[in-house]
Structure formats: C-alpha cells, structure tokens
Amino acid sequence: MNKNIKISSLRPVFTSLTGTLFIAAALFSCSKTVNDPSASVSAPSTIDANAGNWKPYILSSSSEIAVAEPKGATSTEYLAELKKLKESMTTVTASQREIVNYWGAGAAFRWNEIGRELSARYNSAPASNADGKYPVPDAANPLADPKFPFANPPYTARALAYLSVAQYDALVSAWNYKFKFNRKAPSKADESIKALLPVSDLPSYPSEDAVVAAASFEILKAMFPGEVPFLEAKLAEHKNSRLWAGMNVDSDIAAGEALGKAVGQKVMTRAKADGMGAANNQAKTAEMITNAVKIGITKPWLSQEFPARPPMLPTYGFVQPWNFNSATVVALRPKAPPLIDSPEFKENMDELLTIAKKQTRDQARIANFWADGVGSYTPPGHWHRKAADLCHSNNFSEVRTARTFALVGTAIQDAGVCCWDAKYYYYYPRPNQMDSKVKTSVGLPNFPSYTSGHSMFSGAAAEVLSYIFPKDKEKLDAMAAEASVSRIYGLIHYRFDCEQGLATGHKVGDYAVQRAKTDGAQ
C-alpha cells in the first residue's frame, strides 16, 4: 500500500497471471468429459436353472414357441461353427472388445437403458401451430414435427412394460430350451476358445442375448417407429458382440433371434389390442367434466398453457392393465379429493403458498431431482433405472433381471392406468389454476391434478422392488416418499394428491408382488 509498483516489477506478475490462466485452461478444458457411470460386466451369482418353469405373461407356456433341436456337440456342423468362431476371434479389435464389454453388462440391462434413452429423446410435447392448435404426432410419419411418439409418462410406462414383458417371456422360453438341449458354452465345448466374458454352466443354445435383442427390437421398433435404423444397428452390434466374445456360435444366435422375434411379435399382438390406440379420445372429456362437476368438483381442471393444450391421454385410464382387470382399476380409485374451498383444501393451498414464497434450496433440489419432465425418461424410466442398477449390483441372472423389469414395469403401467382413471374421473384443478401465485419450479404437467402420477408410479415401483430386494426396502420406500413430496416442493401438486397417490401406488404394486410370489421364481 505504501510504495508505487513499478511497471517492470509487474512483468513477473503478468507472466504468472498468464501461467494461472493456462492452469485454469488446462483444468477446464481437459475435464469436459463428464463422469457418466459405466456398468461393469455382469457376473450372475446363479444361473437360475429352473427358470424354464417360471410363469410367462403372454405365452401360455415356455414351450409355446418351438425351437428346433441343435446339431450335436460332435456333429460336423457344430465343429465347423466352433472353428469359425475361433478364427473370427483372432481378429477382434480393441473397439470391438469395448462393445463386448458394453453388452456384457447384461442384455436386458442394456436394452432397458436403450428404451429409457429413446423415451427421453421422444419426450417432447408438440409445439402449437400458427392456428393455436397442437398437431397430434403421427405414427405413420414419426420423424415429422411433432415427432411420434410423444413419450410422456403413460406412454413410456407402457413402452417399457411391453419391452420388459417381451424380454421376460422370451427368456423363460429360452431357459426352457437351454436346459432341454443342454448345449455347452463354446469355450466349454472347445477349451482352446478363450471367451472374453465370464462363462457359467448356462447352456448356450438358444443365445439369451440374441433372444433379448430380438424381442426388444420387435417392441422398440413398434414403440419408436422413427428409430428403426438405430435399433437395427444396436441389434446387429449386440449379436456380433457375442461372437466376438466367443460366447455363442452362429446357430445359438440364429435360434435365439428367431425365438425372441416370435415372442416379441406375440407380445405386440396384445399391445395392438390393449386400448392404447383409443387413449387420446378427446371427445370423452366433455362427459368427464360433466361428471366431475356432478360429484362436487366445482372448478374442473383447465389447461394452464397458452394456447390451451388438450389434456394428455384422457382415456388412458381405460387401457388394459397387467396385474388386474378394469373393474379393479375402478375399485382402486382413491376417495374423492377435498371439496374446493373446503377447510382441508385451504390448508393444502396455504402450504403451497408458503413454499411459493420461501422455497428452500433443499426443496428445490428434491423437486429437480425427481422432476423427470420433458426431455427425460419420465418417472417410469427413473424407476426402471433403479431396478436395473439393483439387479446389476445384486448379480442377478439375465432371466431374473428380466423378471424384475417385468414385475416393476407392469406395476408401473398399472399405476399409470389407475392414476389416469382417477385424474379424469375427478378432473381436479392444479394448484396454480386456483391461485396464480403458485408458480412452479418444475414443468407443470398438462392434465388434472388428483392424484399425483409421480406418487403412484413411485409407490408401485417401490412396493415391487422392496419385495425383490427386501434389504433395500427402507431406502426404496424413502425414495418413493421423496419422489411423491417432490411434487409439492415443485408446486405442481397438493399434498393430498401426493399422499393418496403414493398409498394407491403401493396397493397397485402389491398385485405384482402377489404374482411374484407364485410365478415359480422364489
């Protein structure tokens, strides 16, 4: 402070400043890659040898679709296949090895992840056109604007449910034939084959990877018709990875692919007739509103978007559920929400007004973590990811992983169906329709408030996962409760929406748990 600094003495200062900048540059520029967690190669703790007896969803039995007997271990054909496999393995490149390890994390695990990524990419609400109308996505022209599908939560719940059911049924079938024909893994048939992935005693014909890949492909190309080239590339890559890894010979793959494809098509037959095609019946809303007013909802829900957007899938509540029938959907419908302007309503509204004024950073964090809004894989995807991680860290077999996805996935779609039934039965307004001071810190969904979809999805998923992973029950229930309350913190739901939704979700999940108790996999 007391001496003037001479210019010359500043030169080193400047040099060191430049140095600092270079260090900063190095720090920032070299670390642009984000630490996206990569899943390790799966090492199942059991091969679940009796899974051929587990109960499928769509197939009448695990032998419904025939698989031809493979050539014997000493046949010329099989020996030629082994020789070819050995030869082709000598040319496996480093990048092919990476692909081997990628798929080695698990077939159902990876295809579930692909399903989630597609859901996120297609989770875009159509933009309004010049006339203030919202064009409806067209399945026949999936890449036009708006893209088909709009993979919103009900759509994604259903897409992932079918994906999981197809994988599961195909694998149960595959397990049946694996143990019927008992063809050894190539590296066990010929010890000079050094497989690139862990080899168990699981018979290799038909290939479980090809089964999952083909079944998944059938479902996802129907659910995301604009992605056929992308899916074809994934399918080919997955099949090749098993050859590069020395895990399967061509005939294992071919038989697996044929079986997976047949199961996938069979599962899609159900999908085509489950009522989803009629789930966006906007003509029904007038009657729904009339009914809601009649049962006391004096201010029925109105779209808060400009221009007003037709509500999301008003007749999704009539889509066929998985673990119970349509009568049960009505029976599971939660009790009526508080009358608008009743003391209970006001109390709930006051809570939101308080949060609107003084949302804490932690409330914002929870709301954001569970937001799962547009451009995300939605709450169903969030819970599928949790299921995938749990299966992987618990070293589940391929077939047990698929079973977990199927149980969780069907429960989540059932929750969606029940939730949409309640939403359009009560047609209850969102908080900010009742008071514009309730501005939202996450995207405001464009459909009625009661009950909370997040809460329903999460309750159902946590119920099923807690049954499968009992030592994680406390954590899973806490996650579901947090997902539920996040919608209050995000200012898009009343507390009663969330509490009723979470409780009903748990009830819905219990139907899948009952199935799990008797599906033969205990």
Partner 1 sequence: MTLIVTVMILSRAAYAQMPNDAIYMSKNTACLALSYNHTSWDKYWENKLKRENLNIGTQTTQTAMAMLAVGVTKDFDVIVGVPYIWTQASAGNLKWHKGFQDVSGWLKYRFFNKAGLSLNAVVGGSVPLTDYVPDFMPMSIGLRCKTATGRLVVRYKHTSGVYVTAYSSYIFRSKIKIDRDSYLMYEKLYNTNEVSVPNAYDLSARIGFTNKAIQTEVFAERGACVDGDYIRRNQMPFPTNNMKSTAVGWYGKFQPKNLGFNARVSYVVDGENVGQAMSYQAGVLYQFGYIKSGKK
Which residues lie near partner 1 (CB under 8 A)?
Answer: 1-2, 4-7, 10, 13-14, 17-18, 20-21, 24-25, 27-29, 31-37, 113, 116-117, 120-121, 124-128, 145-147, 304-307, 356, 359, 361, 364-365, 368-372, 374-377, 382, 385, 432, 436, 438-441, 444, 491
Q: What is the b/e burial string over 61-97, where b = at least 16 CB atoms within 10 angstroms of the residue's CB?
A: ebeebebeebbeeeeeebeebbeebeeebeebeeebe
Minimum distance from CB of 415 to partner 1 (Å)? 20
Tokens encoding 239 = 């099949």
Residue 21 or 278 having the CB closest to partner 1: 21
Asked if residue 322 lies in contact with residue 147, where contact means CB atoms within 8 angstroms, the answer is: no
User: How many of the other CB atoms lie within 10 Å of CB of 424?
Assistant: 26
CB of 35 to partner 1, least distance (A): 6
Q: Report the residue number, 98 or 287, with the smaller CB distance to partner 1.
A: 98
* Number of C-beta neighbours around residue 363 at 10 A: 18
Distance in Å, CB of 146 to partner 1, minimum: 8
Coil, strand or helix at 443: coil
Say how far apart CA 240 and CA 209 lie, in whole Å.
Answer: 10
Q: How far is the CB of 23 from partner 1 (least distance, A)?
A: 9
| Closer Cβ to partner 1, 187 or 432, answer by number | 432
Task: Provide, rounded to whole angstroms, the least separation between the CB of residue 457 and partner 1.
Answer: 15
Nearer Cβ to partner 1 (101/128):
128
How far apart are alpha carbons 262 and 251 in whole angstroms? 17
Task: Name the token pair of 385.
Answer: 């990811």
Closer Cβ to partner 1, 30 or 283, answer by number: 30
For residue 414, which of 453, 440, 376, 386 has the smallest C-alpha distance? 453
**Structural contact between residues 402 and 112, judged by C-beta atoms closer than 8 angstroms:** no
Q: Could you tell me the smallest distance in angstroms from the CB atom of residue 104 to partner 1?
A: 18
Give dist(CA 455, CA 484) in Å, integer: 4
Shortest Å, Cβ 437 to partner 1: 10
Beta carbon of residue 48, minimum distance to partner 1 (angstroms, whole number): 27
* Residue 200 or 359 having the CB closest to partner 1: 359
Amino acid at 84: K
Chain mean position to CA 504: 20
- What's the distance, Cα to Cα, between the start and end of the chain in Å? 78
The residue (of 209 and 227) whose beta carbon lies closer to partner 1 is: 227
- Quick one: 249 or 480, whose CB is closer to partner 1? 480
What is the closest distance, in whole angstroms, from the C-beta atom of residue 305 to partner 1 in the complex? 6
C-alpha 481/C-alpha 465 separation (Å) is 14
User: Cβ closer to partner 1: 185 or 366?
Assistant: 366
Angle, in degrees to the nearest 10, between helices 473-489 and 361-369: 110
Complete DSSP assignment for 285-337: HHHHHHHHHHTT-SS-----SSSPPPPS-TTGGGS--SSS-HHHHHHTPPPPP
In whole angstroms, how close is the CB of 105 to partner 1 at the nearest point?
13
413 vs 153: CA distance, rounded Å? 9
CB of 390 vs partner 1, minimal distance in Å: 15
Q: State CA 444 to chain mean position distance.
A: 21
Q: Which is nearer to partner 1, 121 or 270 (CB)?
A: 121
| Rounded distance between C-alpha atoms, residue 120 and residue 381, angstroms | 9
Tokens found for residue 1: 């402070």
Q: What is the distance between the alpha carbons of residues 159 and 151, in angstroms, rounded to a whole number?
A: 9
- Are the CB atoms for 70 and 238 separated by under 8 Å? no
Nearer to partner 1 among residue 36 and residue 87 (C-beta): 36
Tokens (6 digits) for 253: 């793959």
CB of 218 to partner 1, least distance (A): 22
Taking the least distance from each CB to partner 1, the nearer of 227 and 252 is 227
